[in-house]
Structure 1
C-alpha cells in the first residue's frame, strides 16, 4: 500500500489488488474517503471539506500519474 503523497497530514494511498473504478484513499485523522481518480468524486467515505479540497486540488493536477500508479498496482 504505497503512500503516494502526504498533504498537511492527509495521507493519500493507492492499494494493490483493488476493485474498480480506479481510486485512491485519502486518510485524515480518523476519517477516510475513497476518491475516484477520473471524476474526483467520492466513491465512499468522507474527510473534512477543507482537507478534501486540498486533496482534490492536488489530484486534479496529478490525475494521469495517479491513474498510472493504480494501473501498475492493479493490472487486469
Structure 2
C-alpha cells in the first residue's frame, strides 16, 4: 500500500485495488483508521480524536488530489500537514 503522506507520526496510505468507496488508510502508532475520500468520514478504526482531527484537516486540503489518484490509479507524495 503506497504511502502518500507522513506528518506528526501519522502515515497516510492509498491502495488502488481496494474496495469502494474511494478511501484512504491512516496509521498512528498501533491505531488505524479508514476514511472516505468524498465525505472525510472515518468509516472504521480506533484513532484517538486528536489524530483523527489532524487527518481530517489534512484530507480536506488534499481531497481533490486523492480523488484523482484513486481514479487514475497513479500515486505520488502529498505535502504533510504543517
Q: Fold-level match, TM-score > 0.5?
A: yes
Q: Residue 7 of structure 1 contacts residue 55 of structure 1 at CA under 8 Å; is this kept in 2?
A: no
2:49 counterpart residue number: 49
RMSD of the TM alignment (CA)?
1.3
Residue aligned with 1:15, SS? coil
1:39 counterpart residue number: 39
Q: Residue 24 of structure 1 contacts residue 36 of structure 1 at CA under 8 Å; is this kept in 2?
A: yes
Task: For structure 2, list consecutive stretches of 5 or more residues without a partner in the other structure.
Answer: 75-82
**What is the rounded CA distance, in whole Å, between the counterparts of 2:63 and 2:15 in structure 1?**
16
1:14 counterpart residue number: 14
Residue aligned with 1:62, SS? helix
**What is the rounded CA distance, in whole Å, between the counterparts of 1:7 and 1:46 in structure 2?**
18
Divergent runs of 4+, >6 A: none
Aligned length: 74
Indicate how the Cα distance of structure 1 residues 72 and 46 shifts in structure 2: closer, same or farther if over 3 A, else same: farther
Deviation per CA, 1:21-53: give whole Å up to 9, x if none: 000000011111000001010111121111111
